[in-house]
Chains A and B, each alone.
Chain A
Amino acid sequence: MSVSRLKNLEAAENSLFKRIVSSVLVLGVLVSAAPLSAQKVKVQKPVSSDPASKLSQVFFKTVPDSLEDLKQIEKKVTSLTESSIHSTVSVRVGDAQGSGVIIDNKAGYILTAAHVIGLAQKNAIIILHDGRRLKGKTMGLNRGMDAGLVKLVENDEIEIDKLPQVKMGDISKLESGEWVIATGHPNGYQSGRAPVVRLGRIVSRKKHLIQTDCTLIGGDSGGPLFNMKGEVIGIHSRIGPATSWNFHIPVSAFQNNWEKLVSGDMWGAKPLGQNAVLGVNGIDAEQGCKVTGVTRGFPAEIAGLKENDLIIQLNDQKITGIEQLAGVVQQYKPGQTVQLKLIRDKKTMSFEVQLAARD
């Protein structure tokens, strides 16, 4: 599956050469991890809201099949657009421009995509839905998952705790077919244009990626995907050629690593770049390559590979050792998905791994 970072396509639409260059540069930056001390930040894992208000029957149907169904969807969606739009912000860090969503107006936390913020501890400009501007600081980022956190900086003019916020949802029961709302700033923030609303459905759902038919483009990166309770369930990350290929990282990427993100930690490999990487250490074994370690936040770990797994095949190529495995991986491009066949506890298993980029 060929996917593009939203930023690259933003360049396509804007045709600003500077932006293209800058996006390439951002992808090539080497990061030195310098965790931010927790400062006065109260580390508090955001809690998912309880399953509350009852949804109309149409939301449990495979497809709506009557005018009444369509009216029910419309009623629900129009009741959610205001909070969706008001919590959506534009995030600017250097030349990069994306979107984000305010999920905590006490601490001033904004969820966005890692590829929008690039590095921790950078200055960010946050533009609210109504055009008001605030300063922010980038916090932690999981580059493998593309999850990034920004914290608003206290300000005399705008009371941060009065800003509209939304909750993160529980995505454990998320299923394909669910109706979702996407907001963001396609092609970047435009004065006089509120965050742009799109309605769609979950097309497929994997552990680390949600696919919808809410059309996204560059500038939307980092913007929120909402469920029909108005909770954030995903953050826009990348797109593919078809208009139904829009990918969002699930909010679990934030929830499961909340303390690390708040502390300003940076980890994981970028999904796109020059040379593909799997993120395993290994030794030659009789039948293949024995895994001696998986790198945190890299594709192998994300896919679920473990120490002592014996990798025996990658797509249709036999694996005979670590050097040879590295060579085989190099035949692919970052972002491509490959099938790994391995033996664990005497059982043969198959894993789908999306390759990332080596710095």
Chain B
Amino acid sequence: MFIGSLVSDGFAWEQLRPSQLTSGSQIRKAFRSVVSTPRSWTVRVRANGKEVSLGAIVGSEGWILTKASQLEGQVTCELATAERHEAEIIGVDGKLDLALIKINAKNLPTVKWQSTSDPKVGQWLVTPGLSMSPVSVGVLSVARRAIKPQPGVLGVRIDDAEGGALVKQVMRESGAEEAGLKPGDVIMNVAGENIENARALSNFVEKFLPGDRVRVKVLRENEEITAIVILTDPQMLIYDRLREMQKKMGGALSRRKSGFTEVLQHDAVLRPEDCGGVIVNLNGQAIGLNIARAGRTKSFAIPADHVIPMIEKLKLKKYAPYNPVKDAKAQTVSTDMSS
């Protein structure tokens, strides 16, 4: 580890420039011809004006698939042509975390899928955005496999109370904290289910996934208050220091990143808001839909053969119209909701 005049003794080491990293701008530029068509099927999805995901145009009349758990409020789509449209949420599949949304447009270019065979491990997988260069590139890391569900939590420490569960502590950066729950609150009802005691609360909330929104009724100083809590991945709550380390070491992760029937794991470093659009091979064919940034080393895509059948099902409104708030038992996301 010599420096300065001693370089000749060791070896001159050069540092690769950021643009020359695997996902750097210079290398992504080499992929421009790969995404020249796929980016025309891609939309930028915003919720209440904030970028939340990418989307894939799956029907020329304005049908768009995207990641469901990111959507809230007013949804808009921006096309590669820079046109902007308001979107309506048509249907949601909780198991795959997919939403079908609709914009008012005609003759849009649509996704060309490759669903007959999976890419080989080590093959390039490219995530187009709206720009000329892709947003990220990587390779297939693991052949397709199931990712078991990890139940969501409110983010509170609880104890038994009369007619509910007493909030003893609200975990930092949890959905409960965000929703304004406070120590001393008594949780009486979650998503339409009356809560008898602490254990009943834990058992019931386990049926939901991180990213799900649940309506929570609490008693605070003899007053009934309703809050909407976005469930949190318990991994991120155990220990403040570890959460901070994850943030520093891995970048932001998707809220919902488990419980998918089958995924293709790739190593492209994605922002959570760059999930929801297609991922293509070097031939520019869509082999799947990015669904989660799941860790420092991993991003997940749902394979095309799982995505395609969902399009028609969601169009037929076979699934309940999207209601982001799980406020009735019937809308509990269970792992056998689809298929």
Binary CB contact string for chain B from 156 to 182 against chain A (1 if under 8 A, 0 otherwise): 000000000000000000000000000
A contact residues around B14 at 8 Å (CB): 175-176, 204
A181 to B249, CA, bound (A): 20
Q: Is A49 an interface residue (CB 8 A)?
A: no
Cβ–Cβ contact A177 & B16, under 8 A: yes
8 smallest A-B Cβ distances: which pairs? Answer: A15-B238, A81-B122, A12-B242, A77-B122, A78-B122, A198-B267, A215-B297, A199-B139
Using CB atoms and an 8 Å cutoff, list the residues of chain A in contact with chain B.
4, 8-9, 11-15, 17, 20, 62-67, 69-71, 73-74, 77-78, 80-81, 85, 175-177, 181, 186-187, 192-194, 196-208, 213-217, 220, 239-241, 243-244, 302-304, 339, 349-354
Cβ–Cβ contact A181 & B122, under 8 A: yes
Cβ–Cβ contact A186 & B298, under 8 A: yes
Cβ–Cβ contact A78 & B282, under 8 A: no
Give chain A nearest CB distance to B5 CB in angstroms.
8
Cβ–Cβ contact B30 & A63, under 8 A: yes
A contact residues around B6 at 8 Å (CB): 349-350
Cβ–Cβ contact A201 & B22, under 8 A: yes
* A8-B245, A65-B29, A181-B122 known; A204-B15 Cβ under 8 A: yes
Cβ–Cβ contact B142 & A215, under 8 A: no
Cβ–Cβ contact B297 & A15, under 8 A: no
Interface residues of B in 232-255 (CB under 8 A from A): 234-236, 238-239, 242-243, 245-246, 248-251
B contact residues around A206 at 8 Å (CB): 1, 13
Cβ–Cβ contact B34 & A208, under 8 A: no
A contact residues around B34 at 8 Å (CB): 67, 70
Cβ–Cβ contact B142 & A303, under 8 A: no
A202 to B6, CA, bound (A): 22
A contact residues around B295 at 8 Å (CB): 13, 186-187, 217
Cβ–Cβ contact B1 & A208, under 8 A: yes
Interface residues of B in 17-50 (CB under 8 A from A): 18, 20-24, 26-27, 29-31, 33-34
Q: Is B141 an interface residue (CB 8 A)?
A: yes
Partner of B15, one of A69, A176, A240: A176
A214 to B141, CA, bound (A): 11
**B contact face: mostly helix, strand, loop, or mixed:** mixed
B contact residues around A213 at 8 Å (CB): 16, 21-23
The contact sample of 28 A-B pairs, CB cut-off 8 A, is: A4-B245, A9-B249, A12-B243, A15-B236, A15-B242, A17-B238, A20-B242, A67-B33, A74-B122, A77-B123, A81-B122, A177-B16, A186-B298, A197-B267, A198-B267, A199-B139, A200-B22, A201-B21, A204-B13, A207-B1, A215-B297, A217-B249, A217-B296, A240-B249, A339-B3, A349-B2, A351-B2, A352-B1
A80 to B139, CA, bound (A): 13
Cβ–Cβ contact B31 & A197, under 8 A: no
Cβ–Cβ contact A78 & B238, under 8 A: no
Give chain A nearest CB distance to B268 CB in angstroms.
10
Q: Is B75 an interface residue (CB 8 A)?
A: no
Q: Is B218 an interface residue (CB 8 A)?
A: no
Partner of A198, one of B15, B20, B139, B249: B139
Using CB atoms and an 8 Å cutoff, list the residues of chain B in contact with chain A.
1-6, 10-11, 13-16, 18, 20-24, 26-27, 29-31, 33-34, 120-124, 138-143, 145-146, 234-236, 238-239, 242-243, 245-246, 248-251, 265, 267, 269, 282, 295-298
Give chain A nearest CB distance to B172 CB in angstroms.
14
Cβ–Cβ contact A64 & B30, under 8 A: yes
Partner of B141, one of A196, A203, A349, A353: A196
* A15-B242, A74-B123, A206-B13 known; A194-B142 Cβ under 8 A: yes
Give the residue name and chain of the A residue nearest to B20 (CB): A63
Cβ–Cβ contact B267 & A64, under 8 A: no
Cβ–Cβ contact A67 & B282, under 8 A: yes
A144 to B22, CA, bound (A): 30
A contact residues around B143 at 8 Å (CB): 194
A239 to B138, CA, bound (A): 19
Give the residue name and chain of the A residue nearest to B14 (CB): A176
A8 to B6, CA, bound (A): 35
Partner of A65, one of B5, B18, B30: B30
Cβ–Cβ contact B141 & A12, under 8 A: no
Partner of B122, one of A20, A67, A80: A80
A186 to B298, CA, bound (A): 9
Q: Which of A175, A193, A207, A215 has the most CB of B within 10 A?
A: A215
B contact residues around A4 at 8 Å (CB): 245, 249
Give chain A nearest CB distance to B164 CB in angstroms.
27
Cβ–Cβ contact A196 & B265, under 8 A: yes
A214 to B298, CA, bound (A): 11
B contact residues around A13 at 8 Å (CB): 235, 246, 250, 295-296
* A203-B15, A204-B16 known; A67-B1 Cβ under 8 A: no
Other A-B contacts than A17-B238, A243-B269, 17 sampled, CB-CB below 8 A, are: A4-B245, A9-B245, A15-B235, A63-B20, A65-B30, A69-B30, A73-B124, A77-B139, A176-B15, A177-B20, A192-B145, A193-B145, A197-B122, A202-B16, A205-B13, A302-B1, A351-B1
B contact residues around A202 at 8 Å (CB): 16
* A198-B141, A202-B16 known; A15-B1 Cβ under 8 A: no
Give the residue name and chain of the B residue nearest to A69 (CB): B30
* A197-B139, A207-B10 known; A62-B20 Cβ under 8 A: yes
A71 to B143, CA, bound (A): 20
Give chain A nearest CB distance to B251 CB in angstroms.
6
Give chain A nearest CB distance to B45 CB in angstroms.
24
Cβ–Cβ contact B121 & A74, under 8 A: no
* A15-B239, A70-B31 known; A350-B297 Cβ under 8 A: no
Q: Which of B238, B248, B267 has the most CB of A within 10 A?
A: B267
A194 to B142, CA, bound (A): 7
A contact residues around B15 at 8 Å (CB): 176, 203-204
* A15-B238, A70-B30 known; A217-B250 Cβ under 8 A: yes
Cβ–Cβ contact B250 & A70, under 8 A: no
A contact residues around B33 at 8 Å (CB): 67
B contact residues around A11 at 8 Å (CB): 242
